[in-house]
Amino acid sequence: MRTFAVRIVKFARTLPGDGPAQAIARQLARAGTGVSANYHSACRGRSRAEFIARLAIALDESDETSMWLAVIEESALSEGDELKWLIGESGELRAIHFASVSTARLNLQGPQLVILTTTAVISSFAWVSPRKSCTAPKTAFTISRAPRCRVSLTTLNSRSTPNSDPV
């Protein structure tokens, strides 16, 4: 990411010297270097929540960088291979940061019981655990055959009946 930041700074220096172009160059330089700085800061986060927050800022900076590069391209302030590379790289960084933030938020929530339904009838269920070791209590569900389909979640502990079928 540091290479991306350096290339953004060098590219910003090549933009025309008129007022609007220099304003865009400053914004691009701030956002482009902010991607690397905030990612570096996220990696040094003191907690998972701080990591996610700082990584989300890096995502915002990636998105802003992509926007400024698109403005440069559409307004014909610059063109060439370097601009195309920066546009492609900023899109890839944005996708990486989005996936990282999404995964980190999912990991923060812990395991979840996902119930797949089709027309209000439970067809299947599965445990979704983004972590390798799951310490949450096991949960099963039962369906009552009443006029309305009701699902009741039952937490199973170590003293559950031998006939119970843990999920």
The 8 Å CB, 24+ separation contacts for 42-48 are 48/104, 48/107, 48/108
Backbone angles phi, psi at 150, to 5 degrees: -115, 140
Tally Cβ neighbours within 10 Å of residue 8.
26
Q: Which domains does the chain have, with CATH numbers?
A: 2-109 (1.20.1440.60), 112-156 (no CATH)
- Which pLDDT score, from 0 to 100, does residue 110 have? 72
Please state the rounded mean pLDDT for residues 72-80: 95
Examine the pLDDT at 24 and tell me if it is beyond 80.
Answer: yes
pLDDT band at 53 (very low <50, low <70, confident <90, very high): very high
- Which pLDDT score, from 0 to 100, does residue 113 have? 56
**Cα-Cα end-to-end distance for the chain:** 43
- Which pLDDT score, from 0 to 100, does residue 111 have? 66
pLDDT digits (tens, 9 = 90+) for 80-139: 999 999 999 999 999 999 999 999 999 888 766 555 554 444 444 444 444 444 444 444
| In contact, 65 and 5? CB cutoff 8 Å | no
User: Phi-psi region for residue 110, left (φ > 0), alpha (ψ -120 to 50) or beta?
Assistant: left
pTM: 0.64
Examine the pLDDT at 65 and tell me if it is beyond 60.
Answer: yes
CA 107 – CA 51 distance, rounded (Å):
12
Examine the pLDDT at 146 and tell me if it is beyond 80.
Answer: no
CA 155 – CA 152 distance, rounded (Å):
10
